[in-house]
Structure formats: structure tokens, C-alpha cells
């Protein structure tokens, strides 16, 4: 019976179908297509200087299309949270002053057809830099206060323009004391982005003060008092350096450290003790360090070398390496200069003066091994020019040359054979304030216009400084500098900063 009912139902469906006439319209509209042109794939902009000025062309296959628009921007490479899109305009044409901090961003453009509800989204990369992320920095002083000038290099290593007193311009203060030293690190921890992370940080040292600034904005992260868990009673910075995966700060002759390979908040710990008996000590401003090797400092009280670890609370003892010609401990010497000569192999150079006989000066080639030092000595004759040296500048990794100044002249000494040669004489009246080897060979072909290898010679006269940049050939300086940076005050150091420059670009040294 069930089968009979199923058969009758099927027949009814067929009968109804045969009587139905199809009056449908099968002409379907094609899907709407929206196109956007006039937006580049990437933009390179300077924060607080450049604008994003874009007038895109928006077309639709819908003849009745009417659009609303919006622009947004969000940051890339975020960790721990989802990026937020900030709306920056609701017009088709964008004219926007870039205010974002230096890093990678994504620009978003949206066009919505209100007739159909269809939206077209287009994105573009925005590489934001700041006026502070590329150029030559010169730390200078007026005799009592220190500030920083920035020489801008938009298209090549030679400066095109300059900004004066950028530290006080941004931070509304100057550093106390005379200009001393720069140090640049990319592994310094700060929360300038809202979370504790590695920061491209420039340390600025003067005789009585110090500051670490975010190179993207040049805003101060910490002043000298804020750099330590406990503010130092005496403000007398000596040096900033990096070695054995830690940052080291010498203040008032005492050593403080931050171990950079673990979580930290960018503050230096308490002073490391000289030994288990807390013997007094006072470290020289000169040091011998390399990122992945042990650091070496010189205790001026005991005329002894010491080392350290980033996680320790007591300075490490230094022993005599095999074949040394000078003891590392209690050698009765005053350290006049020390710096790194090469990072591979790890070697250095030091100049000593005997405490008992000040006319006795010794130039030593230093080879560190673990916590031991081998020193090979070259006793200077009183007639040798190096015995009269006032300022020093060591070539790192290139020729085996030490530069030094006597009066207004710069000399070189071949460390292999002792030959001395006059290199440069600056105009009469100019006083030489520093000699520094800086070298940047870059990491990308795009950086080639900025590659350089210079000996920098800073001078001052009549309250104004000059920093001359000399090329060298086989250790000999060119007859004239490639360019000269000039400003008010007396210069203490100069450093070139660019986006690819990192911790190992400039080996730590005087």
C-alpha cells in the first residue's frame, strides 16, 4: 500500500511540473570590481618632518557608485598584543604629518561603495625614521656644560646641514661638566615603547654627568642618577663599555654592570667590590673590552689590572700570561692610555709611566687570555715623540698604528717597527681635544653612500670646535680632510649613527 502512495505522489509532481511555464530572467549582473591606484608599495618618511601626501584614484564597475573613505595606520613587529589601527583621515586625499616613532608601520586605505556596501582595502608599508637616526653626532662643551650637535647626512657621509644643541633642545637641560665620550648600544633595555625591550640607545658622558637617550627621538631615558638602582653620591663618569655580554659603567672609579643577556630594566647594579675584604680601588677611565670576551680595567690605587663578570659582585683577579714582560698586579705604573687594537685576535695597546721614575715610559702590546694578560714592552727613549704625547687615537682592526698629538701636530707610530711620522699640523692656536678612529662598512648595498673609514681629529680655538675627517692610506692621513664639522664649544667625541649600525659596529675604545 505504501508503494502505491509513493507512486501517486511522484505522478502528481510530474503533472504539476509539466503545466509550469518558466518566465524567469536569467540575465545576472557581474560582480562589482573596485580598483585603487596611486598608492605606492612603501614610503620612507622622517617623523615630525615629512608628510604622507597621497591622492589615490578609485574606480568601480558600478555606475551608481558613491564612496566614503578612511585612512588608518598600525605598527608592525609587535609582541604580546594585537596591533591597533589608528584612524588618521576620512577623506580620499591624505595629507598627514608623520608623528609615529621610528620603526615599521602599515598604512591602510579603505574605499566603501555606499550603493552596494562593497569595500576595497589597500595597504602600504611606511618606514618611519627620525631626524635623529642618521648623521654625525658631536658631543661638545662650553667649559662647564655639555651638549650635542647633529650633522645630518641625507644622501652621503659628508654632512649637508646641522642641528645645534639637540640634547638640550629635546630634554630642556644640559649635562654638567666637560664633554667626554659616546657609547652606542642596541641591547640596552628600556620601556620607551611601552614594554621593556631592547632599545637603540646612545650614552653621552661628561666629566660630571651622563645620559642615555633613545636614538629614535633623542629623548632622555635616564640621567646619571636614574641609571643606577641607587643614585651615586659622587657624579664622576669615567667610561661606558660592553664585554662578556654585559654593559659596564665606571663612575667615580667604581665599576657597575648590567648583564644584558637576561631580563633587566636598564639599571646598573651596586658597585662591585675590589675583593672579599672590600679593599679600596679606583679604576682608570681607560679600558680594554670586547663584546664576547672578558673586560680589563686598571686600578690606579694598586697599579693592578682587574676584570669582571656581568653577574658578579666582586672584581675578578687578573694573573700574568705566559711570556709577559710586565706583571699584571702591583707593577708601580700609571696608565696614560689603553685601547683595543683588534677583536680577532683580542689584543690591545697601553702606554705606562713609572711612578718612581716619571721619565720612564713603556708602550705595551697586550694579549688577553681568559683572566690573564701577556704584555710585551717597548721602553721609550725620551727623544721619541710618543714619550711627549698628549692625546691618543688607536686604529682598530686596520693598520698597526697609534696616532697621538703633541701641541697642534698629530703623529703616527708604527707599532710593528716603532717608526714615527708627522701626519697633520692644524693651524696655530688650535688645541687638539680628541683623536678617534671610526669605521663603518655597512651591511647592505643600500648603505654604500654612507660607508667610511676616517681618523677624526677634534680641535678648539676661540670657543669654537672643528672635527676634521681624514681618510688614511696605509696608515698615512690624507693631506686634507674629506670634510670638517664645526660648531661652538670644545668637542670631546664624534660618532656616526645610521639604522643598520649595531653593538659591534664600533669596538669600545678610546
Distance CA 272, CA 310 (A): 10
Whether residues 298 and 419 share a domain: the answer is no
- 139 in any annotated domain: yes
pLDDT of residue 147: 98
Confidence of residue 9 (pLDDT cuts 50, 70, 90): very low
pLDDT higher than threshold 80 for residue 13: no
Whether residues 229 and 149 share a domain: the answer is no
Q: Which domain holds residue 355?
A: 224-379
- 28 in any annotated domain: no
Lowest mean pLDDT among 73-87, 92-106, 225-239, 325-339: 73-87
Three-state secondary structure readout of 1-29:
CHHHHHHHHHHHHHHHHHHCCCCCCCCCC
Angle at 50 between CA 128 and CA 103, to 5 degrees: 5
- 90 in any annotated domain: yes
Whether residues 411 and 507 share a domain: the answer is yes
More confident residue, 176 or 154: 176
- 257 in any annotated domain: yes
Whether residues 268 and 202 share a domain: the answer is no
How large is the average pLDDT for residues 315-319? Answer: 97
- 28's CB contacts (< 8 A; 6+ apart) are none
- 15 in any annotated domain: no
pLDDT of residue 17: 42
pLDDT higher than threshold 90 for residue 214: yes
pLDDT higher than threshold 70 for residue 79: no
Boundary (domain end) residue, out of 345, 379, 413 = 379
Distance CA 325, CA 456 (A): 33
Boundary (domain end) residue, out of 349, 379, 409 = 379
Confidence of residue 1 (pLDDT cuts 50, 70, 90): very low
Burial of 234 (0-12, 13-18, 19+ CB in 10 A): exposed
H helices present in 69-200, as ranges: 166-171
Whether residues 110 and 90 share a domain: the answer is yes
Confidence of residue 499 (pLDDT cuts 50, 70, 90): confident
Task: Please report where in the chains the cell 675627517 appears, as a residue.
Answer: 469
Alpha-carbon distances, residue 42 vs 93, 94, 298, 500 (angstroms)? 17, 15, 51, 19
- 472's CB contacts (< 8 A; 6+ apart) are 395, 398, 399, 453, 454, 455, 478
Whether residues 373 and 410 share a domain: the answer is no
How large is the average pLDDT for residues 385-406? Answer: 96
Distance CA 150, CA 137 (A): 5
Which one-letter DSSP state was computed for residue 207? S
For the chain, what is the domain count? 3
- 21 in any annotated domain: no
Whether residues 357 and 404 share a domain: the answer is no
How large is the average pLDDT for residues 1-13? Answer: 42
User: What's the chain's length in residues?
Assistant: 510
Whether residues 402 and 420 share a domain: the answer is yes
Whether residues 41 and 115 share a domain: the answer is yes
More confident residue, 509 or 443: 509
- 460 in any annotated domain: yes
pLDDT higher than threshold 50 for residue 15: no
Boundary (domain end) residue, out of 379, 402, 435 = 379
pLDDT higher than threshold 80 for residue 120: yes
Whether residues 139 and 125 share a domain: the answer is no
- 288 in any annotated domain: yes
449-492 tens-digit pLDDT: 999 999 999 999 999 999 999 999 999 999 999 999 999 999 99
Distance CA 480, CA 484 (A): 10
Whether residues 456 and 485 share a domain: the answer is yes
CATH number of the domain bearing residue 88: 2.60.40.10
Whether residues 102 and 138 share a domain: the answer is no
Alpha-carbon distances, residue 181 vs 84, 85, 289 (angstroms)? 40, 41, 15
Amino acid at each position: 500500500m505504501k508503494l502505491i502512495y509513493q507512486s501517486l505522489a511522484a505522478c502528481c509532481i510530474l503533472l504539476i511540473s509539466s503545466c509550469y511555464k518558466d518566465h524567469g530572467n536569467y540575465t545576472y549582473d557581474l560582480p562589482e570590481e573596485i580598483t585603487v591606484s596611486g598608492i605606492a608599495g612603501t614610503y620612507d618618511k622622517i617623523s615630525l618632518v615629512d608628510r604622507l601626501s597621497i591622492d589615490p584614484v578609485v574606480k568601480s564597475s558600478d555606475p551608481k557608485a558613491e564612496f566614503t573613505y578612511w585612512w588608518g595606520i598600525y605598527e608592525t613587529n609587535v609582541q604580546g598584543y594585537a596591533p591597533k589601527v589608528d584612524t588618521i583621515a576620512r577623506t580620499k586625499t591624505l595629507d598627514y604629518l608623520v608623528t609615529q616613532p621610528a620603526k615599521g608601520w602599515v598604512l591602510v586605505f579603505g574605499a566603501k561603495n555606499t550603493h552596494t556596501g562593497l569595500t576595497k582595502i589597500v595597504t602600504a608599508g611606511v618606514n618611519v625614521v627620525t631626524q635623529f637616526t642618521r648623521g654625525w653626532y658631536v658631543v661638545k662643551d662650553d667649559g662647564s656644560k655639555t651638549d650635542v650637535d647633529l650633522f645630518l647626512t641625507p644622501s652621503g657621509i659628508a654632512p649637508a646641514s646641522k642641528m645645534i644643541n639637540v640634547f638640550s633642545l629635546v630634554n630642556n637641560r644640559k649635562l654638567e661638566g666637560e664633554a667626554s665620550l659616546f657609547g652606542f648600544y642596541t641591547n640596552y633595555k628600556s620601556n620607551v615603547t611601552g614594554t621593556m625591550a631592547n632599545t637603540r640607545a646612545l650614552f653621552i658622558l661628561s666629566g660630571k654627568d651622563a645620559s642615555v637617550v633613545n636614538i629614535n627621538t633623542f629623548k632622555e631615558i635616564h640621567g646619571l642618577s636614574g641609571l643606577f638602582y641607587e643614585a651615586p653620591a659622587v657624579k664622576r663618569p669615567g667610561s661606558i663599555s660592553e664585554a662578556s655580554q654585559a654593559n659596564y659603567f665606571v663612575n667615580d672609579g667604581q665599576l657597575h654592570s648590567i648583564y644584558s643577556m637576561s631580563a633587566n630594566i636598564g639599571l646598573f647594579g651596586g658597585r662591585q667590590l675590589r675583593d672579599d675584604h672590600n679593599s679600596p680601588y679606583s679604576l682608570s677611565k681607560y679600558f680594554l673590552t670586547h663584546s664576547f670576551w672578558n673586560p680589563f680595567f686598571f686600578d690606579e690605587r694598586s697599579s693592578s689590572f682587574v676584570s669582571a663578570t656581568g653577574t658578579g659582585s666582586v672584581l675578578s683577579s687578573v694573573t700574568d700570561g705566559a711570556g709577559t714582560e710586565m706583571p699584571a698586579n702591583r707593577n708601580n705604573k700609571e696608565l696614560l692610555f689603553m685601547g683595543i687594537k683588534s677583536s680577532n685576535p683580542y689584543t690591545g695597546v697601553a702606554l705606562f709611566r713609572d711612578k718612581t721614575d716619571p721619565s720612564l715610559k713603556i708602550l705595551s702590546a697586550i694579549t688577553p687570555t681568559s683572566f690573564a694578560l701577556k704584555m710585551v714592552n717597548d721602553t721609550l727613549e725620551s727623544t721619541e715623540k710618543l714619550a711627549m704625547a698628549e692625546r691618543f687615537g688607536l686604529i682598530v682592526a686596520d693598520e698597526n698604528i697609534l696616532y697621538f698629538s703633541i701641541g697642534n701636530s698629530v703623529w703616527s707610530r708604527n707599532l710593528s717597527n716603532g717608526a714615527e711620522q708627522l701626519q697633520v699640523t692644524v693651524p696655530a692656536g688650535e688645541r687638539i681635544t680628541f683623536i678617534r678612529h671610526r669605521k663603518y662598512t655597512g651591511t647592505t648595498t643600500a648603505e654604500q653612500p654612507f660607508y667610511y673609514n676616517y681618523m677624526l681629529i677634534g680641535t678648539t680655538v676661540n670657543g669654537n670646535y672643528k672635527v676634521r675627517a681624514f681618510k688614511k692610506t696605509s696608515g698615512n692621513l690624507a693631506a686634507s680632510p674629506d670634510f670638517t664639522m664645526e660648531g661652538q664649544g670644545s668637542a670631546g667625541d664624534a660618532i656616526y649613527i645610521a639604522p643598520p649600525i649595531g653593538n659591534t659596529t664600533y669596538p669600545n675604545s678610546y
